[in-house]
Every structure is written in C-alpha cells, then in structure tokens.
Amino acid sequence: MEKAQLVFVPAPAMGHLVSAVETAKLLLSRCHSLSITVLIFNNSVVTSKVHNYVDSQIASSSNRLRFIYLPRDETGISSFSSLIEKQKPHVKESVMKITESGSSVESPRLVGFIVDMFCTAMIDVANEFGVPSYIFYTSGAAFLNFMLHVQKIHDEENFNPTEFNASDGELQVPGLVNSFPSKAMPTAILSKQWFPPLLENTRRYGEAKGVIINTFFELESHAIESFKDPPIYPVGPILDVRSNGRNTNQEIMQWLDDQPPSSVVFLCFGSNGSFSKDQVKEIACALENSGHRFLWSLRRPPAPGFLESPSDYEDLQEVLPEGFLERTSGIGKVIGWAPQVAVLAHPATGGFVSHSGWNSILESIWFGVPVATWPMYAEQQFNAFQMVIELGLAVEIKMDYRNDSGEIVKCDQIERGIRCLMKHDSDRRKKVKEMSEKSRGALMEGGSSYCWLDNLIKDMIK
C-alpha cells in the first residue's frame, strides 16, 4: 500500500489531547503504511500538564508518530476561537515543511487533516492543501446529534437556549428516544462565551468528509443510526488505560488493596471539579451517614476570577467538618488529585460519583463501575441525562447541577444517590457490567468499532 501521512490538530486540553493521541496510535497499529504528525499549540492557555504529557509521548513514540510544537504567538488573542484562527498560518507552514522535507518518490502522501471539534477553522488549511478534513469528536454521538439540532433551530427559528432553560419545556431531538428537558441544558450552551463558537464549529462539521466519534455502537446505537449527514465513524472507546498509577500512588493503591471487593464509592470530579466549603460539608455528612467505604478526591477551588485549575489542600481539616477524618478513618480516605483510571480499575471500587465528563463515563463503563451523576460544566448535564434517563446506566445525584450556580446539594439527596449507587443487586449495575463487556468487544477484531476503523482507513487512504 502507498505510504500516507495524516496531520492531527487536537485542542490543547488533556481530555481532548489524550484521546486524539490514542486514536492516532490505534490508526498506526492498524495501517502500517501510515505516518501521523500531531501539531501542538504552544500558548499561555496550554498547561504544564499538557506539556509534560506531550514530552512523554515524544520520548516514547515511534518514528511514524511525530509531535511538533507550533510557534508561540500571544498577540491578538482574546478567545479560544481567535487562538485557533491565529494559528492557521503556523499550521500551514508546519505542514508545508512536512510535505516538502520528503519530496522523494518514497515520501508519504498527505491524505488528510483530523481536527478537533473546536478547531474547525483548520478545515481552511486542509482545503489549501487539497486534502479532506475529518472532525475528531470527543463527546458522544447523542451530543453531536443534539448540537446539530440546536444549531439548526437556532439558525432557522432563532432558538434561545437561555429562555428554554428558564422554561419547563422539552425538546424532541433526533438521536434521543426521550424528550430532552429544559433543566438539563448543558452549561456550555448557556454560556455567552462558549455558545457562539460552539455554533460556529457545529456549522462547519458538514464541510468535513466525516466525524470520528469517541463512542461505540452498542452504547449509542439509536443516536448512531439516526445520522444522515455528515458521515460518522464511531471507533471508541478510545482510552488510555495502560498506566495503572500504582507506582506513583502507592499509598492510595495500598489502601484500596485492603478493602473488600466492590465496597468503595469513589468520588472524583475531573480536572476542573471543586466545591465550596458549604458543599464539602454536605458531601462529608452524606458519606458519613451512608456508612459506605469511600475514596474522595477533594480539591481546593481556584481563587475567584482566576483561570486556574483546582489544587490540593495543604490541610484538609480547614474544609472538612470537625472530627470527620477521625470518625471515618476506618472506612474512608480523603485525597487530593486522584489516579482515576487506576482507581476505577481496582476491584475494591464499587461505585463512582462523577462529574459526568464523557471520558470519565467511557472509563467507568470500560471497568464496569456504576456511576452517580453530578455534572458541573461543559456538556456534562446532557451526559448525565443520557446516562440516567436515555440509557439507564447511572443513578442521579443532581442531574441539572452547575458549578457556577451557587446551589448547595443537601446531605440527604447525596446520601440517597450513594445508597442507590452501591446496591449490589441493582439492574443498573448488571447493565453496566454487560456494557463493559460490549465496550471491550467493540475494539476486538470483528467488533463494531474495529470495523468502523477499517472503514475510516479505507476512506482516507484510497
């Protein structure tokens, strides 16, 4: 087969970058004539965690997978959209160097761009090179259906998400079996900062040759079968589950080793998840009253007005109720940052109180751990609705919670959710275990995602 080259342009956020890189590795493993270059934004929005991850990938990757940092350029950047627009000339220059550096007969032919769902401006650069673009979609197929529908009714009927959220209305969305309630409108769509660029990106999906989605047919069959245009490729679940975290988090893993199977409820709210002191006290009350063993990743919120991620507390006593750590020392452990994959993979973990980020949902399904949904930001309210109502794979703590609302979820409500989550003979727990097996089968030879990836490779390399 003729040698071919792909260019990946991921968004500079860990939740997007890791799944894009894992997709690149999967493509390379299945197509030995392919090489891939991943272009990395290099601006102030890029965290040290992203840099560390990329550096580790550079150190361990084969010569068929290259990473190139784009030039640092901070001028005239007022939003994420302006950052992407500003980087277009740098992407063009980098790709020109790639294609010109090997002008011999043996050099790989550039066959396409794979651009993040928030980086659709890069379709323009692909067009200049005369190659097709594919969107890499890090949320689920149902949410893609939802966004396409919202974009359509916004443009044709002047749909206002904020007004809809304030009502008791419901939307009939292609790809959803159930009506979508106004209270579950995702935070990102209610945001004046994020809704316009979300709409603009969604409008451009139709210009791509297809959309690669991090999902699998057995999980979202109804949503996937509802698509007409653009063509989609559900090739997931795309996860990095190889690093188990045991070597770097020995204390946490040793504690889990000492707990009975499926006995621990794990609370973790993503890289940007944190709570006020009042909310922390309600969670602590619920955990203590429930009597269940727990592992709680508790992070300090960033200072108001600062665009920073939560950090670890130096002293947990300053935020937890007096005596809580002493009273629960036999059954619970409060930590800072958590090695989420390693914890979900551990046999002692029996339930996951989660912010409902799509990657976290896929990880919980992969390891067969039931979820209690507590969404906070982005599209997580939609994910919670999908998991609880649409798919029946999760229980609800507060499906319409938003981390910027100031609302306090009370102890009793949290405790009910935890008790329901940890029922060992529940139908939901059985369904999650069954879906776990299907998620693994989807990636095996002959599985649904395996076949969709074959289709993608054939469509890209003709």
Quick one: three-class SS letters along 168-195? CCEECCCCCCCCEEHHHCCHHHHCCCCH
Note the Cα 358 to chain centre separation in Å.
4
Contacts of 378 (CB under 8 A, 6+ apart): 186, 187, 188, 357
Catalytic residue numbers read 16, 116
CB 146 within 8 A of CB 220: no
* 232: Cα within 13 Å, side-chain hemisphere: 27
Distances (CA, A) of 293 to 82, 305, 349: 47, 36, 9
Note the Cα 22 to chain centre separation in Å.
13
* DSSP H or E stretch at residue 459: helix 448-460
DSSP codes joined into one string, 360-377: HHHHHHHTT--EEE---S
Q: How many helices (H) and strands (E) does the chain have?
A: 18, 17
* DSSP H or E stretch at residue 411: helix 411-421
Cα angle, residue 110 at apex, residues 106 and 113 outer, rounded to 5°:
155
Q: What are phi and psi of 158, to 5 degrees?
A: 60, 40
DSSP codes joined into one string, 32-74: TTEEEEEEE--STTS-HHHHHHHHHHHHH--TTEEEEEPPP--
Cα angle, residue 273 at apex, residues 270 and 245 outer, rounded to 5°:
35
